[in-house]
Structure 1
Amino acid sequence: MNEVKIQSDTGVTLVGGGEIGPEDISLALRLAPWLVAVDGGASVALDGGHDIHAVVGDFDSLKARDRARIPADRLLRIEEQDSTDFEKALRSISAPVILGVGFLGARLDHQFAAFNALARFPDKPCILIGETEIVLHVPPVLELELADGDVVSLFPMAAVSGRSQGLKWPIDGLAFAPNGRIGTSNRAMGRTNLEMDGPGLLAILPRRALASALTALAETHPRASAGQSPVQRPARA
């Protein structure tokens, strides 16, 4: 079940079937130029004229007319029903960075499922892009260049603790838990560093922090430290 089938030395843009803004895919592709669609997300990508490197999912939402437009060797069908299509895609992809569009907004249960997957696959450096915010799992060390006053919300998907520098309200000594303390609406005072004792914490940041978050995640990935250039560096996100 955990076999990686899609390997990329550059960033991957993952397109889902949820809410997608008019510039979301283009923005993501400028940063992560490989496009992988998740089931019905293929329709959005094809309608936008984008080249699809692969489609992953159980294909219950993939329209027959769209499936016919995609080469057979790019269709990765995973029929089991014990996981979401987003989870299937995460475990099937090996890449320095994954940018997900079409996973925030729309149905709330789908958003919670995506958050669950981020927490369950902490080794996958993935950022979900929404209309005004981005969401990512916090690795053991995360160094972000943020603007003074940027909202930094920290939501635990498991019991977790850590330390911070650059937050208005430091997290040192706090025990986070889904049914206990959470970290809604903290504020950055500029450069912000997080050091976690274990996995399970999600960070919700302003969308304008995408470039900084992407760079920070890439720097935690072995391929990035090996001297490769996993993502396109933007002037701004």
Structure 2
Amino acid sequence: MSKTILSRDGAVLLVGGAETSGPALRAAAARAAGVVAADSGADRLLAEGIVPDAVIGDMDSISSAGLAAIPPNSVHRIAEQDSTDFDKCLRHVRAPLVVAHGFLGARLDHGLAVLSVLARYPDRPCLLVGADDAVALLPPEIAFDPGEGTRVSLWPLGPVTGRSEGLRWPIEGLHFAPDGVVGTSNAATGPVRLWTAVPRLLLILPAAAAGSLEAALLSTPASWPARA
């Protein structure tokens, strides 16, 4: 079991080194119960005048000036190279939700690695927010209202089925798989409710709907157990 580095009762902001919006970071930090940087994410935060509560990672990309600006007891170096900095952060932070900015960038391989971590830790609810999209692993049940006509995409990380209310094309009876049926470019007809039996289905909304998805994830009563 991983040692807990930061524990909070509310949502925690996690910031990575990919391109992020300064105003979005400041707004997210203002409502967060705690702020964590993944390695060079600390430089992004410091540029906005935000000192993170913890910096976690192998410290191979944070600037020397950034490292000097962080209190030494807030720097948590994890040297092993078998996992990404995002993985290191997610497994060492305890919170009802981690809201992660700076992880959906231009590099496809980095983005795919981040999505695989969501599947690896289904018991650690996490919302990824990028310039264009907001992404989360679906909990067993969730209800949210992104607005009529909003794009609602579902992407399977493995074989998975589900049920839906409020989608233009219902998903009940579909057998999703990465090499089979996928659920991109669906749309909301009003409030949406989704169910799935296993933690293998990603929900992808426009970034403008990140607030409604964050609220829904925080109010979702059921979550997945840790993987054996």
Q: Kindly state the Cα deviation for residue 77 of structure 1 after the two structures are TM-superposed.
A: 1.1
Name the CA distance, whole Å, in 1 between partners of 2:2 and 2:178.
26
The 8 Å contact of residues 168 and 189 in structure 2, kept in 1 or not, is answered as: yes
Q: Kindly state the Cα deviation for residue 125 of structure 1 after the two structures are TM-superposed.
A: 1.4
Amino acid at match of 1:182: V
TM superposition outliers: structure 1 runs of 4+ over 3 Å:
none
Name the CA distance, whole Å, in 2 between partners of 1:32 and 1:189.
31
Name the CA distance, whole Å, in 2 between partners of 1:164 and 1:143.
10
Partner of 1:149: 149
The 8 Å contact of residues 164 and 194 in structure 1, kept in 2 or not, is answered as: yes
Name the CA distance, whole Å, in 2 between partners of 1:86 and 1:68.
22
Amino acid at match of 2:124: K
Name the CA distance, whole Å, in 2 between partners of 1:136 and 1:30.
21
Amino acid at match of 2:48: G
Partner of 1:68: 68
Q: Kindly state the Cα deviation for residue 207 of structure 1 after the two structures are TM-superposed.
A: 1.6
Q: Kindly state the Cα deviation for residue 20 of structure 1 after the two structures are TM-superposed.
A: 0.6
| 2:28 alignment partner, SS class | helix
Partner of 1:55: 55
Structure 2 residue runs without a partner (length 5+): 224-228
CA-atom RMSD, angstroms?
A: 1.5
Partner of 2:140: 140
Amino acid at match of 2:37: A
Partner of 1:16: 16
User: Normalised by the size of structure 1, how large is the TM-score?
Assistant: 0.90
Structure 1 residue runs without a partner (length 5+): 224-237
Q: Kindly state the Cα deviation for residue 209 of structure 1 after the two structures are TM-superposed.
A: 1.5
Name the CA distance, whole Å, in 1 between partners of 2:191 and 2:65.
48
User: Normalised by the size of structure 2, how large is the TM-score?
Assistant: 0.93
Amino acid at match of 1:133: D
Name the CA distance, whole Å, in 2 between partners of 1:143 and 1:220.
8
1:75-224 matches, cutoff 5 A: 75-220=75-220
Q: Kindly state the Cα deviation for residue 46 of structure 1 after the two structures are TM-superposed.
A: 0.9
Figure out how many residues of one structure are paired with residues of the other and give that number: 223
Q: Kindly state the Cα deviation for residue 27 of structure 1 after the two structures are TM-superposed.
A: 2.6
Amino acid at match of 1:41: G
Name the CA distance, whole Å, in 1 between partners of 2:113 and 2:2.
18
| 1:159 alignment partner, SS class | coil
| 1:148 alignment partner, SS class | coil
The 8 Å contact of residues 144 and 216 in structure 1, kept in 2 or not, is answered as: yes
Q: Kindly state the Cα deviation for residue 23 of structure 1 after the two structures are TM-superposed.
A: 1.8
Name the CA distance, whole Å, in 2 between partners of 1:157 and 1:7.
28
Name the CA distance, whole Å, in 2 between partners of 1:147 and 1:198.
26
Amino acid at match of 2:119: A
Q: Kindly state the Cα deviation for residue 174 of structure 1 after the two structures are TM-superposed.
A: 0.8
Name the CA distance, whole Å, in 2 between partners of 1:188 and 1:55.
38
The 8 Å contact of residues 51 and 70 in structure 2, kept in 1 or not, is answered as: no
| 2:56 alignment partner, SS class | strand
Q: Kindly state the Cα deviation for residue 208 of structure 1 after the two structures are TM-superposed.
A: 2.1
Q: Kindly state the Cα deviation for residue 197 of structure 1 after the two structures are TM-superposed.
A: 1.1
Name the CA distance, whole Å, in 2 between partners of 1:184 and 1:222.
25
Residues 134-185 of structure 1 deviation map (CA, whole Å, 9 limit, x = unaligned): 0111000010112111000100111111100000101101111111111010
Name the CA distance, whole Å, in 1 between partners of 2:28 and 2:137.
18
The 8 Å contact of residues 11 and 98 in structure 2, kept in 1 or not, is answered as: yes
The 8 Å contact of residues 32 and 97 in structure 1, kept in 2 or not, is answered as: no
Deviating more after overlay: 25-34 vs 175-184:
25-34
Identical-residue share of aligned pairs (%): 45
| 1:160 alignment partner, SS class | coil
